[in-house]
Amino acid sequence: MSVATVQEAVENGILASVPADYIILEQDRARGNHGDDSSSTELPVIDLAGVKDDGKRRRAVVESIRQACLDWGFFQLVNHGVPVSLMKRMQQVAWEFFDLPLEEKQRYSVKTESQSLGTQGYGSKFKSKEGAASNWGDQLRHRTLPVSIRQYELWPTNPPAYRETEEEYVEELDRLTRLLFELLSEGLGLHPMYLSDFFHERDQQQMVVNYYPPCPQPELTMGIQKHSDFGLVTVLWQDSTSGLQISKDGNWIPVKPIQDAFVINIGDQMEILTNGKYQSVEHRGLVNRLKPRMSIANFTSPLDNVLIAPIPDLVGEFQIPRYNETTFGTYRSSFFDKGCAGKEHLKAIKL
């Protein structure tokens, strides 16, 4: 059966069971209760209050971030400085967009770009590898920064406040990412501006709104299959419905939604730059029988032509670089060739 989007199929009531295209291999399925986020281990929650003007607080925060990156590759962030009113407005326009009739949403449909860039716009079925299962979710994807790479024809004008809200939101998330670059640099023993200066005018941001409709057989599929993010740093907002899980010591740990918090994770490019000190971590998104779930991911990555290799100061005098040099553009092409393949693409450049 062919459906335009997962949301469309679910809302028209034509899916009593999960179509074959979406069924994942048995070994990749989640066990247990979908939507249960109780776990004895919990992701660190870091409070950024006071970090800009109180030296002692800043040192403590830098240390917590360093430890979270070493232990988890993921952490949650509260008091991050992004106005909660703006977050709410962004969530509101995103929900309003997905509530529109299909034909209206399809005015912003995915346009085919080169395989190496990935696609932009509204659509479904991110699947690059032949034979791989599709994800149980739809997306609205934009290249957002620098402003010059925007394709505004793919940014909704319905709801009317959509474009200006996304414009404001991505600027704020860029500010937060730059602050994170400073705190990460300090934790790595580098000059506070090392990463910011290195990436100044040499990075790009993409934003993806993930919409996961309820699923009749959530145990057979995934909203997003296991992967590591391939950029530098991801800032993710998730709604109050559980679903995100991260891999730790051979177990899948749920990331409990915290109101107005962001989930931060280290991407593959940061793993290369730190010579493996900070590792990107596999994560996945479960779906559930009853409720749609939404998340908004903002990915910051180097510009396509930027060379990425372990930072000399982090390799040390006698230590050997553990990753081959690559450009971000080359790396991303290999990611899109392999699709959701956990950390397979990183192995290819490991020495």
Ligand X SMILES: O=C(O)CCC(=O)C(=O)O
Ligand Y SMILES: COC(=O)C(/C=C/C1=C(C)CCCC1(C)C)=C/O[C@H]1C=C(C)C(=O)O1
The residues binding Fe ion (CB under 5 A) are 229
230: partner contacted, choices ligand Y, ligand X, Fe ion, none (Cβ within 5-8 A by kind):
ligand Y
Q: Name the segment binding ligand X (CB under 6 A); options: 28-36, 56-64, 235-243, 306-314.
A: 235-243
Residue 302: is it exposed, middle or buried by C-beta count within 10 angstroms (0-12/13-18/19+)?
A: buried
Q: How many CB atoms lie within 10 A of CB 70?
A: 12
DSSP assignment, residue 279? P
Q: How far is the CA of 203 from the CAs of 86, 103, 112, 297, 305, in angstroms?
A: 24, 34, 23, 16, 10
231: partner contacted, choices Fe ion, ligand X, ligand Y, none (Cβ within 5-8 A by kind):
ligand Y
Residues 111-140 interacting with ligand X (rule: CB under 6 A): none
Residues 26-85 interacting with ligand Y (rule: CB under 6 A): none
Q: How far is the CA of 6 from the CAs of 31, 130, 220, 349, in angstroms?
A: 23, 19, 15, 35
Q: Which of 172, 182, 203, 229 binds ligand X (CB under 6 A)?
A: 229
Nearest distance from residue 63's CB to Fe ion, in Å?
26
HEC string of 68-112? HHHHCCEEEEECCCCCHHHHHHHHHHHHHHHCCCHHHHHHHECEC
Nearest distance from residue 264's CB to ligand X, in Å?
12
Contact flag: residue 257 with ligand X (CB under 6 A): no
CB distance 308 to 275 below 8 Å: no
Tokens of 24: 């994942």
Contact flag: residue 206 with ligand X (CB under 6 A): no
Residues 283-312 interacting with ligand Y (rule: CB under 6 A): 299, 301
Q: Catalog residues that contact ligand Y under the rule CB under 6 A.
A: 118-119, 126, 135, 141, 206, 208, 224, 227, 229-231, 267, 299, 301, 340
Site for ligand X, rule CB under 6 A: 208, 210, 224, 229, 236, 238, 243-244, 283, 285, 295, 297
